[in-house]
Amino acid sequence: MSTLPLSQIVDALARGDTTPSKLAAESFERIAKLDGKLHSFLRLTEAEAHKAAKASDARRAAGKPLSPLDGVPIALKDLFCMDGVETTAGSKILQGYKPPYDATVVRKLKEAGAVIVGKLNMDEFAMGSSTENSAYGPTMNPWDLSRTPGGSSGGSAAAVAARLVPGTLGTDTGGSIRQPAALVGCAGLKPTYGRVSRYGVVAFASSLDQVGPLAQGSRGVAMLLQAIAGHDDNDQTSSPRPVPDYAASFAKGVRGLKLGVPREFFGEGLDPEVEKSVRAGIDKLKGLGCEVRDISLPNSPHAIATYYIVATAEASSNLARYDGIRFGHRAKGGANLLELYEKTRAEGFGNEVKRRIMLGTYALSAGYFDAYYLRAQKVRALIRRDFLQAFAEVDAVIGPTSPTTAFKLG
Amino acid sequence: MAIDRAQVRHVARLARLALSSEDEERFALQLQNVLGYIERLQQVDVSGVEALSFAGDAEGGLPLREDVPKPCLPREKVLAQAPQADEQAFLVPRILE
């Protein structure tokens, strides 16, 4: 039963066809059987999960569930703070760190009755697209163990694709939910910036980071988003706009939707097989009554260079907090404070993280700020303008998420 | 654009990262490559464009919360995560001689 899509598990729980404790036990059994090969989990929270499942059993038996998700097993990318549960962000520098509080999304999931079963592997500080930058070793793609599940939310995607859990949370800064979801073949959503609180989420690049769900189908994704979306007093960038009823939008279907196909997304480097599948998908939507038109996002070729500056600059600032003073790793034998900082960070961060901190620090340093950071922020305004113009014409933009299928590890 | 090892050392100091000699060499090369790629942004016409620093819901408005005291995290719980602390504070190496 625990291998069904999330929306069907929700229905089965509502009908009383299964219980939260049974689901949790099935999920742990499957993890024990399969995750030795996949390495999607960094740790399990079995004791907490069994306790939460039991409490959920009682609420379900009394006919008083906290929400449709009450009793559904969920797992979290290892950058969501969970009170008393080790949270590493895939880094050695946070090894052993047990946050003293819950992230807002974790609190909301608990308040919805979800049963949190463990923490999932990721590229260190969400920097990467294969999980190979995790300090704890890579995750394997469940469809082909020699290939990557993508990243940085690779553990979140692999666990869903292998049906270890019906739903997971990830984060997306430059594709870190969308790309792994595409490479394992599950649904993943990067919500609009501001839709979900980031309080208690280990920060990478604050003007880009967003929390989002992964599940086997879009209904499951919508149910998870419903539980985590909304304004939070502890995250001033979270939007005060009311949260719509996402489930209700499924009743409307797609007929009459106007879809824009950006020609820049079908350029050089796109695998012909991926293009064929995406075009087939677009034709399917046409058949369901969507109106499809070609559009242009002329500044999209600048997106990667812009991202590289904005994301690394913000990361260099965000990661300054890992100094060996308040939490996490501290190097031994620093003769003075400066040496303590430098040694701690040299020992705690992996190569990719150091590379990005160096680039970001360079881009923000005296004499280079205008040429790099300020210019990237202006190009970013142009990229945004392209999308605003497109959305004046179409309801949605459609295209390939990744130019290739899952690549080999190593 | 060439990046030399002195520049790498300067940036590493700003970033509070101790680098080995190998690191210095590797980062000099890597920085140079990435900056070479990013050079392309210099070709984009950005005259009259305002920098976009906030990507969020500016039209939705970002209300400030009421300035009222709320309980903070318990001190002993926070200090328990520090590599070195006493009962009241984080401990660091001596900073004044």
Task: Give the H/E segment covering residue A229.
Answer: none
> To 10 degrees, the CA torsion angle through A132, A136, A140, A146?
60
Confidence at residue A359, expressed as pLDDT on a 0 to 100 scale: 97
Shortest alpha-carbon distance between residue A343 and chain B (Å): 6
Contact A381 B63 (CB under 8 A): no
Structural domains for chain B: 5-42 (1.10.20)
Residue of B nearest to A319 (CA): B15
Report, as an integer, the average pLDDT of A25-47: 98
Q: Is the pLDDT of residue B60 over 70?
A: no
Lowest mean pLDDT among A104-113, A384-393, B20-29, B58-67: B58-67
Shortest alpha-carbon distance between residue A240 and chain B (Å): 7
Residue A157 near residue A170 (C-beta atoms within 8 A): yes
Task: Provide, as residue numbers in chain A, all residues whose Cβ is less than 8 Å from the Cβ of B40.
Answer: 302, 305
- Tell me the backbone φ, ψ of residue A326, rounded to 5 degrees: -100, -30
Q: Is the pLDDT of residue B8 over 90?
A: yes
Q: Is the pLDDT of residue B61 over 80?
A: no
Give the span between the Cα atoms of A308 and A12, in whole angstroms. Answer: 45
Task: Provide, as residue numbers in chain B, all residues whose Cβ is less than 8 Å from the Cβ of A102.
Answer: none
Confidence at residue A161, expressed as pLDDT on a 0 to 100 scale: 98
Give the span between the Cα atoms of A302 and A374, in whole angstroms. Answer: 15
Report, as an integer, the average pLDDT of A132-156: 98
As given in the structure block, the two tokens for residue A319 are 């990661």
Which pLDDT band, with edges at 50, 70 and 90, does A87 fall under? very high
Report, as an integer, the average pLDDT of A52-70: 98
Best CATH choice for the domain A6-252 from the list 2.90.10.10, 3.90.650.10, 3.30.1330.10, 3.90.1300.10: 3.90.1300.10
Contact A308 B37 (CB under 8 A): yes
The yes/no answer to whether this complex scores an ipTM above 0.90 is yes
Report, as an integer, the average pLDDT of A318-346: 95
Reported residue count of chain A is 410
What residue ranges of chain A are covered by domains with CATH 3.90.1300.10? 6-252
Return mean pLDDT, chain A. Answer: 97
Confidence at residue B15, expressed as pLDDT on a 0 to 100 scale: 98
Q: Is the pLDDT of residue A290 over 70?
A: yes
Contact A349 B42 (CB under 8 A): no
Task: Provide, as residue numbers in chain B, all residues whose Cβ is less than 8 Å from the Cβ of A322.
Answer: none
Confidence at residue B93, expressed as pLDDT on a 0 to 100 scale: 87
Contact A325 B23 (CB under 8 A): no
Shortest alpha-carbon distance between residue B18 and chain A (Å): 5
Query: Tens digits of per-residue pLDDT, A376-391?
Result: 999 999 999 999 999 9
| B32: β partners | none
Q: Is the pLDDT of residue A220 over 80?
A: yes
Contact A358 B80 (CB under 8 A): no
Q: Is the pLDDT of residue A1 over 80?
A: yes
Q: Is B16 on the interface with A (CB under 8 A)?
A: yes
Contact A345 B11 (CB under 8 A): no
Q: Is B72 on the interface with A (CB under 8 A)?
A: no
Neighbours of A64 (CB within 10 A): 9
Q: Is the pLDDT of residue A135 over 70?
A: yes
Contact B73 A381 (CB under 8 A): no
As given in the structure block, the two tokens for residue B11 are 């940036």
Q: Which residues of A are catalytic?
A: 77, 152, 176
* Furthest C-alpha separation in chain B: 57
Provide the whole-model pTM.
0.97
Which SS3 state, helix, strand or coil, does residue A203 take?
coil
Confidence at residue A327, expressed as pLDDT on a 0 to 100 scale: 97
Task: Provide, as residue numbers in chain A, all residues whose Cβ is less than 8 Å from the Cβ of B25.
Answer: none
Nearest to A336 among B17, B31, B93 (CB): B93
What's the N-to-C CA distance of chain A in angstroms? 35
Query: Residue A131's closest CA among A168, A164, A89, A95?
Result: A89
Give the span between the Cα atoms of A231 and A195, in whole angstroms. Answer: 7
Q: Is the pLDDT of residue A180 over 90?
A: yes
Q: Is the pLDDT of residue A128 over 70?
A: yes
Shortest alpha-carbon distance between residue A100 and chain B (Å): 6
Nearest to B46 among A207, A357, A375 (CB): A375
Amino acid at position A409, single letter:
L
Which pLDDT band, with edges at 50, 70 and 90, does B1 fall under? low
Contact A305 B41 (CB under 8 A): yes
